[in-house]
Chain A
């Protein structure tokens, strides 16, 4: 494994401040996209014939599909898409200099209390080391239970039957333009299979999955939770991911089988030049439960709507979404629930904060098909505006085809109350502290669902983002 060599060649202390990878032959495709590029990616990964055909079909679909005209402003994106490299071998990507990482990102790392080595990983200048030990002991445990937790590439290679059965079954390439693009050029991501009845107490964290690319530009994740199994998967973290790339388009497919239970947690904090367009969807079967916990900070524009397709009787879907739009950012996020079986239930809770010239939009769908008797769905959206240049939108779509369904949607938009501020300041807090406290209270219902270390980081991050908001 080339990445292994890479790790061994490094001495952490020596490279504390001038970390570089040793030059290696670089594999990357030509800038821009063509059928040749798609073929080159597939050939480089030594994929089976069916996958190449799948990619090519998706590529043609991508060319035909129109750009979305709703949501975030993507008018500059065409330029970006012509210039980017659609495939760069992962270790070749870590060529950044630590010195090149912007100061504000470094400061954020310091304030969040992230160790130096980890900072480099997050900044894209290093691979993961320290978690290796943790990973190996966990790996043993998983192996014993028959749990597969691999890179998506290894999933295809080592588990072709399960892979092929489920791959693109939840999100076909024709779903939308960016799902088609991802299907054509995907690279990196996780493959997870949890066998029937297995309950995993420790969350599966993409973070621990060393020796593989952590996150690609066109990541593809496929997760199957078999009958009666239970698991929790965590992707990303609250610290900003610094990347020289300006486009990220992932596809995340999840199948939750009968009576299974699964939670997918992701907190993403992209650098401010990033277009983040992600399709993530779960197919939820009889009496199964799917929970999305989705946090979006950073990026230039994010379009991301985690979905639950409730296809089995008694299935339950829940989406907790939090978005923070700072200066110049547009978070167009939300959730979709589709009820296609009787007695299905769902809930969406969305909290958004817009500050400066930021814009946070909630966009959601609640659809109940005829025959989904007694379906229940509840949607709550709350938006907080920090100052007068910020913007908040709510675009819910409610489509009900079933008489016995009960669906409710409530949304509020407000600013931080002067009375709340006055009260806290009369107790000796500065205005900034008071505002940060109010914002923390606002997101508390979602933060408390996070694993402790993430909640702590999220709170610190919110505090930092609130700095300088008074004035």
Chain B
């Protein structure tokens, strides 16, 4: 594996990249994939760089937050696939993971470790690196990789990712197979000043069931580092899928994630995005409800301090009748941190009997913090139940007063209120390991934060 990944000998500087470099990146790959990379590169080159003049990027100045021309796209040096050599951070994170159906580890832009329960493998469940999957499951990848879910045409950064991705995760659950424990992926970034491009493709066949937890970590990195990931999740008829992304990156990292979920008839496709780390977080999540009876719960939680910036851009597309979606994103902002929530519910004409809900709640904990919220609705069907709500407010003084009257210090009372506020999100998708881990991370942030 190390050999294959080490094949591209020299590092690219993003500003000097050209189609020859992209072609070189695709060397040794099947022709369809090499062609796809070049196409994506063409889209990248012809798509204008997002600026604050664009509605979708109105509150995030990409040029100022990411030196996109000065990042180096890492040469694929041999990766340490010896677990003893892994960073402490990674080992700790994995130690805290309870029961799993399978585990996959990425260091930087490459997969270094895969492990899946033999009983599941024998029933046809596939958990592997995307590179391997290109060789072993070409038909599935040809059909689904960067096609329906996150094609390069989705945007400048999505195109760049489709051209330059180095590795990623492929998870396939055959018809009717139900996984009792979650599949866990742990990623760790180390090279400062680098740009990592990875992808995730999850296919859950009819009536299957799977939970997937993806955790990304790093120390603080300087200069700026980019991690870009495109996530494609497909739930076939009646499948039940839970996708969870926990972002605990260090400062100096720009975390960009483009996610799309495709939910067929009677499937349930839930997502949870937890954003705690990184200097800049940009998540684009689009849930498509494609078949009658499809349902999607969309949960999100962010907690900022210092100069952190979070931009969550969600959309709920109801394209079939009798579909349901329910979004809840909650955030707390301390220090000089800032959040943007932009969400839209779109109900197509044919999507009658739709229920769609969207809620964004923000807690502003310090004078320098700021929260912007843009919850939107576009409804073209009439037999629908749609509502949305957004709020921005400060800590509930009454709740704090109540706790203090029970002998709890002000500091502790404030912490409890924040924890309770954010905890509501976790309660809606209580996956083993995730709740505890995220709660601990919030608690430690509350302790070290200026507010504590």
Find chain B residues with CB under 8 A from A70 CB. 55
- Any chain A CB within 8 A of the CB of B229? no
Contact, CB under 8 Å: A412 / B387: yes
Chain B nearest CB, measured from A137 CB (Å): 49
- Any chain A CB within 8 A of the CB of B373? yes
Contact, CB under 8 Å: A415 / B382: yes
CB-contact partner of B383 in A394, A405, A407, A415, under 8 A? A415
- Any chain B CB within 8 A of the CB of A108? no
From 100 to 129 in chain B, residues with beta carbon under 8 angstroms from any chain A beta carbon are none
Contact, CB under 8 Å: A400 / B349: no
Which of the 9-residue segments B80-88, B267-275, B306-314, B391-399 touches chain A?
B391-399
- Contact mask B378-389 → A, CB, 8 Å, 1/0? 111111111111
- Any chain A CB within 8 A of the CB of B362? yes
Contact, CB under 8 Å: B375 / A396: yes
Q: How many residues of B contact A (CB 8 A)?
A: 34
CB-contact partner of B376 in A395, A401, A405, under 8 A? A395
- Contact mask A423-450 → B, CB, 8 Å, 1/0? 0000000000000000000000000000
Q: How many residues of A contact B (CB 8 A)?
A: 34
Contact, CB under 8 Å: A406 / B392: yes
Answer whether A396 and B374 are a contact pair too, CB < 8 Å, given A388-B382, A411-B387. yes
Answer whether A413 and B377 are a contact pair too, CB < 8 Å, given A386-B382, A405-B364. yes
Contact, CB under 8 Å: B392 / A396: no
Contact, CB under 8 Å: B387 / A410: yes
Contact, CB under 8 Å: B388 / A400: no
- Any chain B CB within 8 A of the CB of A140? no
Find chain A residues with CB under 8 A from B388 CB. 394, 409-411
From 380 to 417 in chain A, residues with beta carbon under 8 angstroms from any chain B beta carbon are 383, 385-415
Q: Which residue of A lies closest to B385 (CB)?
A: A414
Q: How far is the CA of A400 from the CA of B374 in the complex (A)?
A: 11
Q: How far is the CA of A301 from the CA of B58 in the complex (A)?
A: 26
Q: Which residue of B lies closest to A379 (CB)?
A: B390
Q: How far is the CA of A408 from the CA of B385 in the complex (A)?
A: 20
- Contact mask B234-265 → A, CB, 8 Å, 1/0? 00000000000000000000000000000000
Q: Which residue of B lies closest to A361 (CB)?
A: B378
Answer whether A391 and B380 are a contact pair too, CB < 8 Å, given A396-B374, A399-B372. yes
Q: How far is the CA of A220 from the CA of B387 in the complex (A)?
A: 37
Contact, CB under 8 Å: A407 / B352: no
Contact, CB under 8 Å: B377 / A385: no
Find chain A residues with CB under 8 A from B371 CB. 398, 400
Q: How far is the CA of A390 from the CA of B384 in the complex (A)?
A: 12
- Chain A CB within 10 Å, residue with most, of B369, B383, B387, B392: B392
Chain A nearest CB, measured from B400 CB (Å): 14
Q: How far is the CA of A397 from the CA of B390 in the complex (A)?
A: 10
Contact, CB under 8 Å: A403 / B366: yes
- Any chain A CB within 8 A of the CB of B406? no
- Chain A CB within 10 Å, residue with most, of B362, B366, B373, B385: B373
Q: How far is the CA of A383 from the CA of B380 in the complex (A)?
A: 12
Find chain A residues with CB under 8 A from B391 CB. 406-409
- Any chain B CB within 8 A of the CB of A92? no
- Any chain A CB within 8 A of the CB of B285? no
Contact, CB under 8 Å: B370 / A409: no
Find chain B residues with CB under 8 A from A407 CB. 390-393
Answer whether A391 and B375 are a contact pair too, CB < 8 Å, given A408-B390, A408-B391, A412-B386. no
Write the residues of chain A forming the contact surface with B, with a CB cutoff of 8 angstroms.
70, 370, 383, 385-415
Question: What are the 6 closest A-B residue pairs judged by CB atoms, nearest first?
Answer: A385-B382, A394-B377, A413-B386, A398-B373, A400-B392, A406-B393
Name 12 A/B residue pairs within 8 A (Cβ), A-sorted: A385-B381, A392-B378, A392-B379, A395-B376, A396-B373, A397-B372, A406-B393, A407-B393, A410-B387, A411-B389, A415-B382, A415-B384
